[in-house]
Structure 1
Amino acid sequence: MQNRIPFNGKTTSLYRKNVLHHKNNKWTRHLPLSASFGKSVNTVFGRLGLEYVGGEGLLDYATASVSIRA
């Protein structure tokens, strides 16, 4: 069974309130991770980055990506 990630808002939106302070309410949707990737759900990607990768990991990845292109 896949993990279902809760999120609020449109799939294409990325608002700080939806990423940093998630609250379950009547508008909360729960999508499997594979569906979140398939639909490019920005809020889910933002939450995964913050909660699982972390700021330092994201910075390392961004820095590595820039040096590869140079």
Structure 2
Amino acid sequence: MMIKVERGNPTPEELAAVVALVQARAAASPGPADGPRPADEWAAPARNVPSRPLRPAPVAWRATYWPH
């Protein structure tokens, strides 16, 4: 990890505090080695199942694109 000071002239104590904060945040954040991520709700197979059974009707074609 490399930290570059763009402006200003921090003291060694200030710079050490920033480095400690960045390291603590990096250690607390979950990484890819922490195990598999939970499945996304959008990827659930149950979303592909119709909520109500389809019934043929004489005017069913009109309701094809209506919101349910």
Q: TM-score, normalised by structure 2?
A: 0.28
Q: Which has the larger radius of gyration?
A: 2
Structure whose residues are more often helix by fraction:
1
Higher relative contact order (CA 8 A, sep 6+): 1
